[in-house]
Amino acid sequence: MRDIEYRTTVEDEHWRSEEFQWARVLAEGNAAKGVVLLYLQKACTAFHEFEPAFRDQALDCGRLDFFRRRLANRLGHLLTTMKNNDLDALAGSSEIGGIRHAVESAQSMEELAALTEKLHEAGHVLLDALERA
């Protein structure tokens, strides 16, 4: 992959490395891979915002169906975009499909929140595969 010029303000090494990886994928100019990355980040952001809000008791736990639907929808966009662009065989794809199923069948907000780290890990696998593809 070619060298890219990109300046970040992120100091945390993990986030910085991930951000530069996003930049490399986007700089490649492959629209399908770029949109998959976008949907992956939208899904990860949704989970990363949901989980701490739940832990801090800022959410109505009676809205489980609403949150299941919203989070599953984010993952659905990602998986459909991957399939429509022949990227659904990439590493991480089946794990994300399994996470979507777990979201849809979650019996509690706690179960939903527990999926955040699993998605984060699967997202790294998918991001590595996107960069190599």
pLDDT in tens, 14-51: 888 889 999 999 999 999 999 999 999 999 999 999 99
Distance CA 72, CA 111 (A): 13
pLDDT bin (cut points 50, 70, 90) of residue 3 is: low
Q: How much is the pTM?
A: 0.91
pLDDT for the residue numbered 1? 47
Q: Spell out the domains of the chain, with CATH numbers in brackets.
A: 32-132 (1.20.120)
Distance CA 107, CA 28 (A): 41
pLDDT for the residue numbered 8? 82
**Percentage of residues in the chain with pLDDT exceeding 70?**
98
pLDDT for the residue numbered 90? 98
Distance CA 61, CA 58 (A): 9
pLDDT for the residue numbered 9? 81
- Are 74 and 95 spatial neighbours (Cβ–Cβ below 8 Å)? no
CB-based contacts of 112, cutoff 8 Å, min separation 6 = 50, 54, 64, 67, 68, 71, 103, 106
pLDDT in tens, 58-91: 999 999 999 999 999 999 999 999 999 999 999 9
Query: At residue 2, does pLDDT exceed 90?
Result: no
